[in-house]
Structure 1
Amino acid sequence: MCSKEESGAGDDIDSLLETIEKTNGLSHQSVKGGNVLSFVCLMFSPILSFRNLNPETELKRYFGARAVLGDQRPRQRQRQFHRSTWMTTPKDTWPRFSRPGITMNLLESANGLQFFAFEHSRDYQQVQFKFFDAVESMDPNNIVVLLQLNPYHIDSLLQLSDVCRIQEDQETARDLIERALYSFECAFHPVFSLTSGTSRLDYCRPENRAFYLAVYKHMMFLEKRGCPRTALEYCKLILSLDPDNDPLCMLLLIDFLCLRCREYAFLIRLYEEWEAHRNLSQLPNFAYSVALACYHLSQQEETTPEESQHVKLRSDRLLQDALIMFPGVLMPLLDLCTVQPDAAVSSHAFFGPRCRLGLPPALSELEGLYVGRCHSVWKEAGVMLWMEGNVQEVLRRVDAKDPIVEDCQNKRKQRYQSAPRNIHRHVLLSEIKEATSTLPLDVTTHPVMSYDPLPPLDSVVSYNSAFQGPKDT
């Protein structure tokens, strides 16, 4: 934000990006006499729940239990035995499960956190090398053959899922990801917890990265399936595995899922409690989405008139701050919402085409990502009327030479010169063309493996023999 009383709190975006970029473990930094852990536990422990990890919970709320379950209950007696799991429900159509050679070990416990790592057996490592050969062959049939012999090999499941998704076989693609998650969950350490917010996985370990990616892909399938509340729970799960480094940049996605499932209060609470140490207001997605969340809260019927007025004024202030700090979002957003802007707006230098000239590369990437992903939540007529009023007020402040406008302009020029690797990784995974088109050449000119996009530069090699797979050079 760029308001006078809060502008000083947002002066540290560079340190934010540096913190995100560090991928060699957690840094337990004190935050105003506390610990980063206190924020994590506060946000995730009481909110992550097994119940919300099950999409049937959300679907039942929308359509009723009978419509969701159908005739499942009578047929359950005929099912073969499967281990009970939380993330997926094993299916009778799956190959019989036998442990593929994945285990999870507890590395250490410190400061109330438990650090885990997946490990591969020697036999699994040999299958992994065969997988690398199959990928290099560029023939998906070789991966199919490998899966026939090793039906729960994780990277093969992830890779073939992407092939099926590209071929628009969404059901098979989703099923393969669920199989991978089932294999992972059967390997969980007894102490590992999906919901405590204190279990950590280091993304620098390749064996751990596959779990991150499987959960991410499962989350995106859930969102597209119409289960944004369940997807939000998985988003929080991924973030809780390494909240300091956020290797998949869930902070660039969590606001969208909150808006999609109308968890406005959670989004505002996250913003308020993490702003002090993560400078969320310096990310375009939080600047705009928190303003929109406040607006929606002000419109809820259960809100008292006094409270509604207070929240509405706050939403106006936040949206104006967002428009002043990130003016390049407005015109592309209106374009994707098929809204024709007023001539006074489109011709004004502040919002016109010139405002995007010379935009720092990282900021262009972040703004493109937000517009491409979130434009659908801005299409409501009431939201657009609210936006229009605040755009007019911003133009009045610009013409009146409000000093905050120049201050934000200077901040844009000084910051966002280069995005850390995890933001590029997030953009690649998002496949949002408004963002992928802004990726730098050092990312787009190198091969990207979908089973391990942009691995950390300090990746840990844990195999006994040399790592023989395709490398990101």
Structure 2
Amino acid sequence: MSSRALRRLKGKQRGQEALDMGSLVPGEEQAAEVEEEEGDSAPQPISNSSNQKAKKNKTQKNLSNIYELICEAENEVEKEDTNAVKPEEKGEEGREKSDSGDTEKRIPQAETGAAKSAAVDKVKKKKKKKKKKTTSGDTQEEAAEDIDALLESMEQLGSLTLQSDGCGVAGSRPVLHVEHRNLNPETELKRYFGARAVLGDQRPRQRQRQFHRSTWMTIPKDTWPRFSRPGISMTLLESRAGLQFFTLEHSRDYQQVQFKFMDAVESMDPNNIVALLQMNPYHIDSLLQLSDVSRIQEDQEMARDLIERALYSFECAFHPLFSLTSGTCRLSYQRSENRALYLALYKHMMFLERRGCPRTALEYCRLLLSLDPDGDPLCMLLLIDFLSLRSREYHFLLRLYQEWEVHRNLSQLPNFAFSVALCHFQLSQQEGAEPQERDTHRDKADQLLQYALIMFPGALMPLLDLCTVQPDAAVSAHAFFGHRSQLGQPPALAELVGLYVGRSHMLWREGGVLFWLEQNVAQVLLRVDSNEPLVEDCLNKRKERYQSPSRNIHRHVILSEIKEATSALPLDVTTQPIMGFDPLPPLDSLVSYSRPERPSVGASNESTLSLFFRSLLPNFNLQGGQRPEDDLEVARAGRELNQEVNRLMVAMRDMLANIQFQEPPREDNPDRDEEEWD
């Protein structure tokens, strides 16, 4: 605090002390002291009853006025004051502020009871010392010491309060820590465009809005139907090793709606789903399915609105102990009731990314990964690096890589191998960093990029192709980066490389990145030509690994809808039916309730398609087998039939494509043709 602010604060403090001491002296003594301070403007002596009331009111405002004096002194440091004011005049000014009875000023919530008592004790000690001191110099020194001690205690208390609330140093938080304010896209949009441009005229309209429950993930809209609990609830299964395991449950009424939804899906008519949603406006699977239909029809606003309505329904059903930010709550993807929450969060995250809110999308990606970090059913590790680079959260990406590399082998994923190198390069280009730090990041970036190019050489040519860059002839003609490297990589690796290149190629178009890539490609070619042992080691790793990708990777590729990755999906995935509300369910799914069997129909009512299947497969039953092994046999036979039909269709398309029609020989006599035509 500056000397000028300290002098002002001392004067106001003396005025406050004079007021407090005057309130403790009854009768004529108080009037005499006040008259001595104020001169001609002193008030008339007051009675004992009014004196007691003033004493009570002024004692209650004692601590708040002290805090106000400190805040005012800090705020006036930067102001230019040409007319110097004496401390006695400032004391009078402070007393007038105290007598004004301003009831709007309050102590901040961060001030606890311990801080209040400590401040009161310091004020009392200061009063006792004031009575003993006679000289003005000693009084000013004591006031300065007390003010400094009070400020120091308040700063210590504020730091302890922040640490207790979990708002301390960011490095002490878990790597998947989620903040509530970052789940709202308006927080990010306000940072870019300002609050006035984002809010607009929303505030007047919020007064007329109907009551909705306060939620973190979505903001209820006036256009939504009136909310009534659809029949979804959350239950705490167990608590183990500091983790809490939850599950979602469906009521009997919701189960009946779910059966009707399955009938509507089998009818292949979206109007049936619309009719079902009109009767049950917060049915989750119907909202997810219609959102996909709206997105295909290029109605992005409706698709996003339906997903937000589903998230609102979920958040209203959360368990009181379920936390979005703690990172200790788990939700198993094996249970069919829980999958809709995963899908709703994923679709909402992708809408946010397309909307231009990558920081908010990154927060939802952390949330999805924290629900099941070991299983990672939607493979958020294939996406979190892209969102971190988009939102320029470089330090978070490096921390995640350092903490998870030991037990997750993140460097074996093409997206992390290239993204971490790009992250170090971006840090080396930041302004304001020290030269030594920038050189360290640049050396690390070169080292990691060269390793990524040696480990995944098949990613270079597709990346340059999507960046519309013509590679050098020495690079394209080299066997290490040529087409042979793309054809020789395993199918699983081709799927991962296509996913990364199709999603992140725009990050490599920024200024200076392609030049940095060109320099490191030249260094890699020198290392390959010199037959370094690392090149042979990476070749053996590519042959041994990436043979059979997991089911969650296929699920992520299907949800991403990136054509460079979907074209690399195996045949057994593309030939089976994929439902938008539950793509590729786990093979070890846990089903809490099953769809009731339909009444059997006679042979006379069997459809033509059923008779056709029965002629091909004598054991085919339209209603399914009576035993589990019969159901498995029917499912296996159905898959084989599906594959045979697909092969037949491919053969028919090839045959029709190769058919060439020959025109009959035409004679030179046109009159004869006209006669024959007549």
Q: TM-score, normalised by structure 1?
A: 0.90
Q: In structure 2, what is the equivalent of residue 64 of structure 1?
A: 194
**1:244-269 alpha-carbon deviations (Å, 9 max, x no partner):** 00000000000000111111111111
CA deviations over 1:333-373 (Å, ceiling 9, x no partner): 00000011111101110001111122111100000000000
Equivalence for 1:245: 375
Match of residue 42 from structure 1:
174
What residue is the counterpart of 2:206 in the other structure?
Answer: 76
What displacement does 1:44 show? 1.8
**Contact preservation (8 Å) 1:229, 1:257:** yes
Asked if the contact 2:225/2:281 (under 8 Å) is kept, the reply is yes
Cα distance in 2 for partners of 1:353, 1:305 equals 40
The alignment status of 1:172 with 2:302, answered yes or no, reads: yes
In structure 2, the CA distance between the partners of 1:90 and 1:446, relative to structure 1 (3 Å rule), is: same
Assess if the C-alpha contact under 8 Å between 1:461 and 1:467 holds in 2. no
Relative contact order, CA 8 A, sep 6+: which one is greater?
1
Q: Which among 542, 548, 558 is matched to residue 412 of structure 1?
A: 542
| Match 2:263 to one of 133, 149, 159 | 133
CA RMSD of aligned residues (A): 1.7
Counterpart mapping for 1:202-351 below 5 A: 202-351=332-481
Aligned amino acid, residue 294 of structure 1: H
SS at match of 1:196: coil
Corresponding letter in the other structure for 1:121: S
What code does the residue aligned with 2:285 have? D
Q: State the Cα distance separating 1:74 from its structure 2 match.
A: 1.2
Aligned equivalents of 2:560 and 2:477: distance in 1? 32
Q: Is the contact between residue 340 and residue 582 of structure 2 (CA under 8 Å) also seen in structure 1?
A: yes
CA distance in structure 2 between the partners assigned to 1:465 and 1:445 by the alignment: 24
Output the CA distance in 1 between the equivalents of 2:355 and 2:264: 31
Aligned-partner Cα distance in 1 for 2:576–2:596: 22
Cα distance change on mapping 1:438 and 1:41 into 2, 3 Å: farther
Partner of 1:426: 556
Does the 8 A contact of 1:41 with 1:198 survive in 2? Answer: no
Paired amino acid for 1:42: P
Q: Distance in 2 between matches of 1:409 and 1:40?
A: 39
Query: SS where residue 365 of structure 2 aligns?
Result: helix
Preserved contact between residue 578 and residue 584 of structure 2 (Cα < 8 Å): yes
Q: Residues 44 and 397 (structure 1 numbering): CA distance in 2 closer, same or farther, change over 3 Å? A: same
Structure 1 residue aligned with 2:229? 99
Residue 250 of structure 2 corresponds to which residue in structure 1? 120
Structure with the larger helix share: 2
Q: Distance between the aligned counterparts of 1:268 and 1:285, measured in 2?
A: 13
Structure 1 segments of 4 or more deviating over 3 A? 464-473
Q: Deviations over 1:431-457 (max 9, x none)?
A: 000000000111000000010000000
Task: Report the equivalent of 1:438.
Answer: 568
Counterpart of 1:188 in structure 2 is 318
For residues 357 and 438 of structure 1, what CA distance do their matches in structure 2 show?
A: 12
CA shift, 1:381, in A, is 3.0
Q: Kindly indicate whether the alpha-carbon contact (under 8 Å) linking 1:201 and 1:242 is maintained by their aligned counterparts in 2.
A: yes
Distance of 2:472 and 2:546 partners within structure 1: 30
Instruction: Please state how far the C-alpha of 1:467 moved relative to its aligned partner.
Output: 8.8
Residue 288 of structure 2 contacts residue 581 of structure 2 at CA under 8 Å; is this kept in 1?
Answer: yes
Unaligned runs of 5+ in 2: 1-170, 599-622, 625-634, 640-678
Secondary structure, aligned partner of 2:174 = helix
Alpha-carbon separation, structure 1, partners of 2:308 and 2:410: 32
Deviation at 1:418, TM superposition (A): 1.0
Largest Rg, 1 or 2: 2
Question: In structure 2, what residue type is equivalent to 1:394?
Answer: V
Spell out, residue by residue over 1:151-174, the C-alpha distance to the aligned partner (whole angstroms, 9 max, x if none): 000000000000000000000000
Q: Number of residue pairs matched?
A: 433
Deviation (angstroms), 1:302: 2.2
Give the CA deviation at 1:40: 12
Kept after mapping to 1: 8 A contact 2:259/2:595? no
1:367 aligns with 2:497: yes
Is the alpha carbon distance of 1:446 and 1:88 closer, same or farther for their aligned partners in structure 2, counting shifts above 3 Å?
same
Q: Counterpart in 2 of 1:32?
A: none
Q: SS in structure 1 opposite 2:343?
A: helix
On the 8 A contact 1:222/1:228 being kept in 2, the answer is yes
Do the aligned partners of 2:230 and 2:280 also contact (CA within 8 Å) in 1? yes
CA-to-aligned-CA distance 1:100-152 (integer Å, 9 cap, x gap): 00000000001000000000000000000100011111111111000000000
> Please, which of 383, 388, 400 is the counterpart of residue 518 of structure 2?
388
Structure 1 distance, partners of 2:511, 2:202, is: 41
- Give distance in 1, aligned partners of 2:304 and 2:472: 43
State the match for 2:286 in structure 1.
Answer: 156
